[in-house]
Chains A and B, each alone.
Chain A
């Protein structure tokens, strides 16, 4: 929709309709996601809130909450912010309205599909990657459509160079695509079920490379870009420092990727990966704070506006929470701190400092700023927005504080060993019940935050009610002087890039080269740093000129970004893929699942057991007393997907199979409180009425064989018969203990799986 005014000037009307749509969707899905959060928080406070209903149970609703908050709420918010600001920063309308609307409706379709399938128990059980494969495929298609429309706008821009917000958008689009595709490689066994391409430790590594960087590149970089646009707009002040933007952008995107293994500290993961996860998390502290500084210091000279402008209030608080969470994160990534914090509520509190504080408040600030402009009107009530701010703030603080208290208590209690050499709290349930008050406080905090959100919905509804939507318009003159763009050669063969490349190469030589590598790498590293410093002192200004020309060359810029984000993952993941399975697995390998056990395992996944139970015993005295010997890599080598878990609301289950008998599990799944008084685990009555469908097994086993699991060759009939036979045996055993259990019921398969946990074979040492 461009009309020529004069030969030199064109009038451009932005596509703000799609921005409005994304914004309204974000507001609505935000409410849904938060409501789901309050609900599952209440389930942890009062187990009766599970209502003995399969689709309403914590294990199925928790993924719904996380997916809604991340992809539905922040996703839609991000698209609104990116489309709105990019069109203005590039002085160009989105090239295709059609693609924009396909993006919008496609994304809403994905969300609705997720909201239907997750409560049904259709899940891949990888955190924030739970959706089943047909939805995964749709996500990829829609993301590519988004990317096409975005980069197409860049290609047709009327602004010679790229503003910092756009750097972050580019990094977001490229990296999310890379992470999402690799972590969703899988082989379907049916329309609703699949097994991932990676298993065991490899799956764990890939999953947390993805999981950590979903936080980085879905919840952080796009919001930083949004901060760089809306913060200076709202404050009407220049951004604090361009060169800080450069340094913190490149260090952030390069370093973030490496930090994934900090989710697997003190596990069986090879220790070099754990070390990388820890030290890169520490190195991430300063780059993260660079973003916070550039945000907060942009407010210099505008601090007084915080008193009157709710937009700036939300932004300033949001950026402060970002700073807090990005300090807490590296702290928790220190191995010894992690020994206390991991598997506890502390992590949950940390995540919510980021999502409620940073994402939620930045979103609210952006919506309050956008609504009056997109509908050309005034905000209905500044006072209501203030009340929203303070309600939300109290909500966040209650949430975080209660999770600190419960998380640190859990860590201390579970690790406590008395002087006479025994666990001080041998009974896990003691730890669970001690956190009850904090579970209630957290629910109240979440509810307050939601209440603030509802106030915003009311406020914005009154703001835009009865007004006319207005699209932004600019008049663009043809750029007077073209900034010459760089060729690929000039973009890559340049001092800063070459020095960075040298540092990475020498670091790799050190990491993988043993003693000889060290002897080569150390002088190499020192020499590179010194040369680079001297070079920068003498001709740093030419580096600056090079970078400004790079900003006029979006393709080389995007390629450099891709290389920066791809390196960390490649260097960590590729060596682990080539590990020889039988030798790398420290003398132990997992017993193969029987068909019935595999079926039970898929039920374990369906019910989301991994959300509260880990299967990874860490090498601590307390854990070896409580759960048994530390887990080894070989014990989960045939696990597709891995089930190490990330949270212990209940105890670890890696060796539970040798602890209790079938009758105990039978009663426990029927009513956990009958065997563990005080437990907050839901009842699973439907497992006692629903029948197993063994006919899916031959195909599932076939796919696992394709993945390299050495299942014996069996005909489909043999597989089903083997499952039947084992079910009969368990049923008979239960019968002998006075319980009538029909062999075909799901509970029997689940018991078969649980009884098998902790079974492994020792591999005779090869000489």
Chain B
């Protein structure tokens, strides 16, 4: 292909439309190659994904990505905490303060700013619907109770923040206090 020198006079087309004239300049090379490049990319992309079998189903891609995240998280976590460990966390001011932050932004809208209960039950009294042992509370927060409108917070908050928020709840209780399991307790908090 010959290289065009800058032409001193642009070729004007003969015809004039309502006074409008048209040059007939060559298409800029960078423009042409942008266009060709995009077309070549399109063909290659299609070949890679739809011919060479790289088009993995969403579930596979997601499962892979999830496995990476879990593997990384596992290397950082120390496994689930015991009742005793959770009770001792509830005495740690820094953990409780962190738990309070999560509680206010995530839980207070249903359980009340002072844990007194609103849409969800009161968390300061000694009546528990799904068990009041620290490990049971962690379980309830993590997996939720779909039937009663308690969302599963585990996937959203993660183990660390769930533990913190449970420590915050526990800071309103004493280890060894009497506990009533009352599955019929209604959602609305009673004083």
Contact = CB atoms under 8 A, between A and B. Distances in A.
Contacts of A245: 22
Contact of B73 (A241, A275, A289, A419): A419
Nearest to B17: A163
Given A163-B20, A238-B23, A630-B58, A283 B35 contact: yes
Contact of A430 (B22, B46, B105): B105
B149 A663 contact: yes
B66 interface: yes
B62 A238 contact: no
Contacts of B157: 422-423, 426
Main secondary structure of the interface of B (DSSP, over half): helix
A166 B162 CA distance: 65
B186 A89 contact: no
A523 B31 CA distance: 27
A251 B35 contact: yes
B54 to A, nearest CB: 11
Nearest to A631: B58
B59 A241 contact: no
A458 interface: no
Interface in B2-23: 10, 12-13, 15, 17-23
Contacts of A271: 49-50, 55
Interface string A420-464: 111100110110000000000000000000000000000000000
Given A88-B18, A279-B45, A664-B119, A624 B73 contact: no
Main secondary structure of the interface of A (DSSP, over half): helix
Given A282-B41, A285-B38, A244 B186 contact: no
B106 interface: yes
A239 B77 CA distance: 67
B35 A293 contact: no
Interface string B172-191: 00000000000000111000
Contact of B186 (A163, A289, A297, A736): A736
Contacts of A660: 149, 151
Given A239-B23, A674-B109, A286 B156 contact: no
Contact of B149 (A280, A287, A661): A661
A660 B39 CA distance: 48
A541 to B, nearest CB: 12
A511 B188 CA distance: 59
A279 to B, nearest CB: 4
Interface string B70-82: 1011001100000
A620 B65 contact: yes
B17 A159 contact: yes
Categorize the interface residue count of chain A.
35 or more
B61 interface: yes
Contacts of A247: 27
B182 to A, nearest CB: 16
Interface in B40-56: 41-42, 45-46, 49-51, 55
Interface in B133-167: 146, 148-149, 151, 153, 155-161
Interface residues of B, number: 63
A688 interface: no
A199 to B, nearest CB: 21
Contacts of B186: 736-738
A626 interface: yes
Given A229-B20, A659-B151, A676-B109, A421 B45 contact: no
A140 interface: no
A289 B19 CA distance: 25
B20 A233 contact: yes
A621 B62 contact: yes
A285 B161 CA distance: 46
B70 A272 contact: no
Nearest to B187: A737
Interface string A521-565: 000000000000000000000000000000000000000000000
A283 B27 CA distance: 17
A619 B38 contact: no
A667 interface: yes
A245 B20 CA distance: 14
A426 B31 contact: no
Interface of B: 10, 12-13, 15, 17-28, 31-32, 34-35, 38-39, 41-42, 45-46, 49-51, 55, 58-59, 61-62, 65-66, 69-70, 72-73, 76-77, 105-106, 108-110, 119, 146, 148-149, 151, 153, 155-161, 186-188
In the A-B complex, the 4 residue pairs with the smallest Cβ-Cβ separation, listed nearest first, are A661-B149, A422-B158, A421-B73, A286-B35
Given A243-B26, A422-B160, A660-B151, 7 more contacts: A239-B20, A242-B23, A419-B76, A420-B76, A422-B158, A619-B61, A667-B119
26 contacts: A229-B18, A240-B25, A268-B58, A271-B49, A279-B42, A279-B46, A286-B35, A289-B31, A293-B28, A420-B76, A421-B70, A421-B76, A422-B73, A422-B155, A422-B161, A426-B157, A426-B161, A511-B46, A515-B51, A518-B51, A620-B65, A630-B62, A660-B151, A661-B119, A663-B149, A737-B188
